Structure 1
Amino acid sequence: MPPHEGLTHLEQYKVEGSNVEFIGSNIDHSVKYNSAATEPAWQQDGGVGKTEGIKIWRIEQFQVIAWPPNRYGSFHEGDSYIVLRTFKASPDARELSYDLFFWLGKDTTMDEAGTAAYKTVELDEFLHGAAIQHREVQGSESRSFLTLFPRLTILRGGAATGFNHVETSETSLLRLLQITSDGGRGIIVREVDPTWESLNEKDVFILDEGEKLTSWQGKSCSPMEKMQAATAISEIVNERQGKAEVEVLAQTDSRSSIVVKALGGTAESKVSSVSSAPKHPSHSQEDRRPKRLFRLSDSSGSLKFDPVKNGEKVMQSDFKSEDVFVYDSGYQIYVWQGNGASQQEKAKWLKVAESYLRSLDGAWTTPVATVKEGREGLAFKSVIDV
């Protein structure tokens, strides 16, 4: 069966209430049409995962397509991506370690999300099962994901909607980018509606008109936001081979009204004093869910998902080699796979984690990571009680 048969590519992925449960379905057979060993994307540069660094791929028509390195950190909300980080856990480590993410934009299609999830599993197999796998959903990215990039840029459109990268010749372009500092978690750049109502006093905005780029600095914006806006503008100018005029305006400058007018406002238009940028889920103790630990086991002959701890301290000794455990740290889900766990237990990790998240109010986009016994990584160890 060819990878596209029987599938409707443009069905939008419903982030709320979806479970990416495709095992045994048409999409399961489709994305496994080529084995990990024959997937061209994994053969780049003599085989991915052999040297330290980051590689990114976008899912396009069921294919894994390399994302241009000069666009690393930029993602489209209509797409799904795979991100591989290859690194040494310590300077003297003999073996390489891997963080393997699949990122789902809020408007990605069901087929793209499913393909990204299964191709992530396939890439882990190509890496001999050594990767820590992460599910990331737009707007709720984990700290592990955000720290991969100097800033995270979220743009509109996507492969399925016929998005084309902005070219220098597009002189009629009108695009507005919002730069905001997200509570110490990093800088987020978002494409927003090109209207004056999108402006606010707290953030920096870049008005992109093709041949001119204007940085509009809200009067209460941070120095970090100003710096990142300047860097973003510099990169855009470089992409356009220097063919763009640049102007920097503070909100208090008299000329700043030209930005408001270009976005449909007037001299009397009053911008908001409050940032409109969506905030990542809080990691404060007040907003944190109670810690919970569950065991996934088929030792009884049927697969069971049973609670182990609820609101109590979770210790390393609570995790047993013969099973899979789902650990809710309060703001991230970890699926811990014991070395002696059955293949059925390991295969159900995403289904079970997402089923658990659906049972909680407003928790669907919580980051999910699967870790393996003996290769847990620092992020997991930091949320285990000593």
Structure 2
Amino acid sequence: MAPHAGLVHLKEYDIKDSNVELIGTAIDHKVKYASAASEPAWNDGRVGVEPGVFVWRIEDFEVVPWTVREGGGVFFYDGDSYIVLSAVPTKADPGSGARQVGGNSNRHLIHEIFFWLGSHTSQDEAGVAAYKTVELDEFLHGTAIQHRELQSCISDAFRVLFPRLTIRKGGVRSGFRHVDLEGDAAREDGTATLLRVFQPVNGSVVVVCEVEPTWRSLDDGDVFILDVGEKIWVWQGSKCRPMEKAKAAQVVHDMKLAKHVEEEVLSQTEPRSRVIIKLLGGDSEEGSQRSEYSCPRPVTGLSLATPKRPRRLFRLSDASGELRFDLVKEGEGISRHDLDSNDVFLLDNEGNSIWVWEGSGASKAERTMWLSVAQSYVRQLASSGEDSEGYMSPIAKVRDGYESVEFEKAMGGPQGI
């Protein structure tokens, strides 16, 4: 029987044409019903007090703690949604965006919240993750920087939090609860598991991602780990990078510590590497006689070589009596002087990132709608044909007086302040 046979599947979230915020909808009411007066996940005595990286998974409208292992090791499932909080201690000047820790005036925390959406997460899970991200920000007094992260295009800011990030197939709806898979990649039903080790475009961190165990998943530019239960095989593509080889060796080391099985590392250029092709179903001439293999990566990166579109600054305001989203300026010359603390602004930084700036005097409607408007904007870019991958643009929000260095750079640097 197939792993998912007999399961009832919720509607998957489609980032290209669905709202993720869903605030004010039926999901909003379900979350409020399922939640207590205060969210236990935020009230553990550590959140907002201690530095570190905290992770939660959305399970049946609940926020459930998720383990981060020593050294930044973490497993995410492509069928799930997660919330990640990064709390970094720093000595801060007034207005820097830091929150004081306890009564120690020399210790402050800079908070960044990421909600990570797996490629097969449900619409309900995505909506709850976005809703709870807003709730967590409120718990932190509204000073956190918020990020939307897509599995298909993870930002470097997210990847550096997890030097040992592994993305597996499945999720809470598939019955994969919180179990330790550090050393056991093969499924309980004996199915072979194939892990792809690669460095995304413009990325500084190597990612490990589970892919379909077939020879068609192979690519000359990456390293692959095949776990068949009794042995671990490593296939090094002819064009793979040293960092990818090193990362694969680390992953295999951890697996062997738990499983005590032998490994064999083979380069694509070695004739014996055909053994791995056959294990992956490449018995046919099409699979076994190939000299080159190519397959799109499950996690990509945005190409920063050339601007995808002009820099644009928009204003979200209800000063006229109705909520309006209007273009303020396009092209060069956008600076902090163009911002007004009474409204919310959206900066499209040539397609490399989407920044939302929330003015300190913005209305409740403006503050509530920022994510909905940002989502609508990137979807419109794709549907209009201006940028077919516009929906993948990283989206982040900062608050007036709590801006990040990255936001200041996007606005044109300190000279624009």
Provide TM-score, normalisation by structure 2. 0.84
**Contact 1:76 / 1:156 at 8 angstroms: preserved in 2?**
yes
Q: For 2:67 and 2:195, locate their aligned partners in 1 and report how far apart those are by CA, in whole Å.
A: 20
Is 1:244 the counterpart of 2:244? The answer is no
> Counterpart of 1:78?
79
2:290 and 2:91 map into 1 onto residues whose CA distance is 52
Distance, in Å, in 2 between the alignment partners of 1:55 and 1:105 is: 18
Give aligned-pair identity as a percent: 47
Deviation at 1:112, TM superposition (A): 0.3
1:82, 1:116 within 8 Å by CA — same for their partners in 2?
A: yes
Cα deviation code 1:341-364 (max 9, x no counterpart): 111110111111111111102211
Structure 2 residue 172 is matched with structure 1 residue 159: yes
- The answer to which of 267-276 and 295-304 deviates more is 267-276
Q: Which residue matches 2:96?
A: none
Taking a change above 3 Å as real, the CA distance of residues 72 and 56 of structure 1, as seen in their structure-2 partners, is farther
Determine which of 338, 341, 355 is the counterpart of 1:334: 355
- What is the SS of the residue equivalent to 1:334? strand
Map residues 24-63 of structure 1 onto 2, 5 A cutoff. Answer: 24-33=24-33, 38-44=38-44, 46-63=45-62
Cα offset for 1:20? 2.4
Pick the aligned partner of 1:203 from 213, 222, 229.
222
Greater shift, 139-148 or 265-274, is seen at: 265-274
In the alignment, which residue of structure 2 is the partner of 1:345?
Answer: 366
User: Structure 1 pair 90/209, CA: closer, same or farther in 2 (3 Å)?
Assistant: farther
Question: 1:333 Cα deviation (Å)?
Answer: 0.9
**1:232 and 2:245 correspond:** no
**Aligned counterparts of 1:248 and 1:190: Cα–Cα separation in 2:** 19
5+ residue gaps, structure 2: 1-7, 94-105, 383-387
Equivalent-residue separation in structure 2 for 1:378 and 1:129 (angstroms): 18
The 1:91/1:248 distance shift into structure 2, 3 A limit, reads farther
Report whether the alignment pairs 1:312 with 2:332.
yes
Task: Indicate if the aligned counterparts of 2:20 and 2:126 stay in contact, CA closer than 8 A.
Answer: yes
Q: Distance in 2 between matches of 1:152 and 1:209?
A: 21
* Partner in structure 2 of residue 17 of structure 1: 17
- The alpha carbon displacement at 1:188 in A equals 2.2
Q: 1:22 to 1:75 in 2, by over 3 A?
A: same
- Aligned Cα RMSD in Å? 2.3
CA-to-aligned-CA distance 1:152-210 (integer Å, 9 cap, x gap) = 43221111122365558938230111111223412122211111122222111000112
* Cα distance, 1:155–1:35 mapped onto 2, change above 3 Å: closer
- Look up the equivalent residue of 1:236 and give its one-letter code: M
Q: Which whole-Å CA distance do the structure 1 matches of 2:107 and 2:339 have between them?
A: 27
List per-residue Cα deviations over 1:262-318 (Å, max 9, x = no partner). Answer: 11124843153545325322122x243211100111111211111111122321111
The whole-number CA distance in structure 2 between the counterparts of 1:169 and 1:28 is 36
Q: CA deviation at 1:248?
A: 1.6
**Structure-1 separation of matches of 2:160 and 2:36:** 28
Matches for 1:141-220 after TM superposition, within 5 Å: 141-163=154-176, 166=181, 170=188, 172-185=190-203, 186-220=205-239
Q: Counterpart in 1 of 2:125? A: 112
Q: State the SS of the aligned residue for 1:214.
A: strand
- Separation in 2, partners of 1:272, 1:376: 47
The residue aligned with 1:68 is: 67
Give 3-state SS (helix, strand or coil) of 2:86's partner.
Answer: strand
Determine if contact 1:76/1:105 at 8 Å carries over to the other structure: yes
Matches of 2:354 and 2:375 in 1, distance apart?
A: 10
> Do the aligned partners of residues 237 and 91 (structure 1) sit closer, same or farther apart at CA in structure 2, a change above 3 Å counting?
farther
Equivalent of 1:281 in 302, 325, 337: 302
| 2:52 maps to amino acid | G
Residues in 1 aligned to 2:63 and 2:291: alpha-carbon distance in whole angstroms:
42
Name the SS of the counterpart of 2:224 in structure 1.
strand
Query: In 2, Cα distance between the equivalents of 1:170 and 1:273?
Result: 29
SS at match of 2:410: coil
Compared CA separation, residues 85 and 21, structure 1 to 2 (3 A): closer
Distance 1:72 1:84, change over 3 A: farther
Question: How far did residue 38 of structure 1 move?
Answer: 2.4
Structure 2 residue identity aligned to 1:223: P
Q: Is the 8 A contact 1:36 1:126 kept in 2?
A: no
Task: Look up the equivalent residue of 2:13 and give its one-letter code.
Answer: Y
Is the contact between residue 153 and residue 301 of structure 2 (CA under 8 Å) also seen in structure 1?
A: yes
Q: Say yes or no: does 1:369 pair with 2:396.
A: yes
Using the TM superposition, give the Cα deviation of residue 90 of structure 1 relative to its aligned residue in structure 2, in angstroms: 4.9
Distance in 1 of aligned mates of 2:191 and 2:175? 17
Q: Secondary structure at the match of 2:20?
A: coil
Does the CA contact (< 8 Å) of 1:213 and 1:247 recur in 2? Answer: yes
Q: What secondary structure, in the 3-state scheme, does the structure 1 residue paired with 2:43 have?
A: helix
Structure 1 residues 276 and 357, CA gap change in structure 2 (3 angstroms): closer
CA offsets, 1:99-154, max 9 Å, x none? 10101111110100011011111111111112111111121222211222225432
Asked whether the equivalents of residues 79 and 169 of structure 2 are also in contact (C-alpha less than 8 Å), the reply is yes
Question: Who is 1:102 aligned against?
Answer: 115
Q: SS where residue 364 of structure 1 aligns?
A: helix
Give the alignment of 1:252-263 within 5 angstroms: 252-263=269-280
Shift in Å, 1:36: 7.8
Aligned residues of 1:214 and 1:248 also touching (Cα < 8 A): yes
Distance 1:89 1:72 in 2: 24
CA distance, structure 1, for counterparts of residue 289 and residue 91 of structure 2: 54
State the one-letter code of the partner of 1:11. Answer: K
Is contact 1:13–1:108 with CA below 8 Å preserved after alignment? Answer: yes
